[in-house]
Structure 1
Amino acid sequence: MTGSLRPADDGDLDRMLRWRNHPQVRAVSLTGHEIDPAEHRAWWARVRTDPDRLVLVHLHAGEPSGVVTFAGLTSPERSLTWGFYLDIAGLDARAELLPAWLSLQRAAVAYAFGTLGARRLGGETLASNEPVLALHRRFGFRVVRRYARDVDGSSHQVVWTEMSRGT
């Protein structure tokens, strides 16, 4: 099953916050605290007008089911950074978590290299998040470096993975 991406809009704010605050999403995020509505609205006010960033909603089987973010859109090298999270509770209830996860990754990679014209796409993943690292490998991302990063006051190992156009 394929997925698609569309620009996020004000009508997506509540669902994006609910998805982002799911305990499983927070546990593997680079900021693990629960985001309150005011913090979320402030983030949205910044990102929605930033020409360097893009927030998209992933549609799986026609249903909103995840968020994909891209940064670096104004980079002359067309080297983009990305991240994503899924509607864990909704997809789990429909027994579609794995298919949606695969379709999100497929759609995001195609969007980055096709629609956005990226030459390189990379992102950070906590080293403990082995399922995402395995998925990235499956799609052709390679580990470029590992480093420590502060996540909510404690040091965590992070893995930077990336792929280049045509990889």
Structure 2
Amino acid sequence: MNREDLPQVLNWRNHPDVRQFMYTSHVITPEEHARWYARMSCQEGIWLLIFEVGAVAKGFVNISRTRCQHVADWGFYLSPDSEKGTGKLLGRAVLEYAFDELGLHKLCGQALGFNERSIRFHERLGFNREGVLRDQHCDGNGFHDVVCFGLLSSEWRCGNRQREGHQ
């Protein structure tokens, strides 16, 4: 991601279909978005990525190392007008990047408990549910569970071989 991507990523982030599943669900201003980008883009251990299909931007991915340099959290969202199947492509590309390029041992994710689509998505990618943080998030209207996921590099590699038809 670079500065030129900011307007498009902000439009995706502020779309109601995306925003409803975010920890901060208010409409982000361009100034707030620019401050976030300035703060995040200069930190070591954070990768802000644009996912493209056929050279067309289709999604945003954030990978952030945790306290351990071989473990990271990820977050993502797609362009609201992305074609069916784009999420699957994004997920596989991110896992390949995280484990093969960055050499991570583990990738972690979270989904708000009411975001069934994201929960199913993580599970289809091979993530394991590692816990539920009960009533962890308050959106101003109520409290919501946060479902925590983790995927080890060894699990991904094993699952990848099975998907490719290897023994």
TM band (smaller chain): 0.7 to 0.9
The superposition leaves residues 92-112 of structure 1 with CA deviations (integer Å, 9 ceiling, x where unpaired) of: xxxx1x221110011111111
Indicate if the aligned counterparts of 2:136 and 2:146 stay in contact, CA closer than 8 A: yes
Q: Which residue of 2 aligns with 1:83?
A: 75
Q: 1:68 aligns with which of 61, 71, 90?
A: 61
Residues 67-115 of structure 1 deviation map (CA, whole Å, 9 limit, x = unaligned): 0000017733x011000001113x2xxxx1x221110011111111111
Q: Pick from 27, 31, 34: which aligns with 2:24?
A: 31
Q: CA deviation at 1:138?
A: 1.0
Aligned to 1:42, the other structure's residue is in SS state: helix
* 1:118 alignment partner in structure 2: 104
| SS, match of residue 85 in structure 2 | helix
Segment drifting more, 157-166 vs 147-156: 147-156
Q: TM-score, normalising length from structure 2? A: 0.87
CA drift at 1:52: 2.2
Scaled by the length of structure 1, the TM-score of the pair is 0.87
Give the SS at the match of 2:10: helix
1:127 shift after superposition: 1.1
* Structure of higher CA gyration radius: 2
Greater relative contact order structure (CA < 8 Å, 6+ sep): 1
Distance in 1 of aligned mates of 2:55 and 2:66: 27
C-alpha separation in 2, matches of 1:164 and 1:11: 34
Q: How many residues align?
A: 153
Q: What is the identity percentage for the equivalent residue pairs of Structure 1 and Structure 2?
A: 33
- Equivalent residue, structure 2, for 1:161: 149
- 8 Å CA contact retained: 1:52, 1:74: no
Secondary structure, counterpart of 1:68 in structure 2 = strand
**What letter is aligned with 1:50?**
Q
Alignment of 1:1-167 (within 5 A): 8-72=1-65, 75-76=68-69, 78-89=70-81, 91=82, 96=83, 98-147=84-133, 148-153=135-140, 154-167=142-155
The CA deviation at 1:55 is 0.3
- Find the aligned partners of 1:118 and 1:74 in 2 and give their Cα distance: 13
Following superposition, the deviation at residue 60 of structure 1 comes to 1.6
* Alpha carbons 1:32, 1:151 under 8 Å: kept: no
Whether contact under 8 Å (1:20, 1:26) holds in the other structure is: yes
AA of the residue aligned to 1:107: A
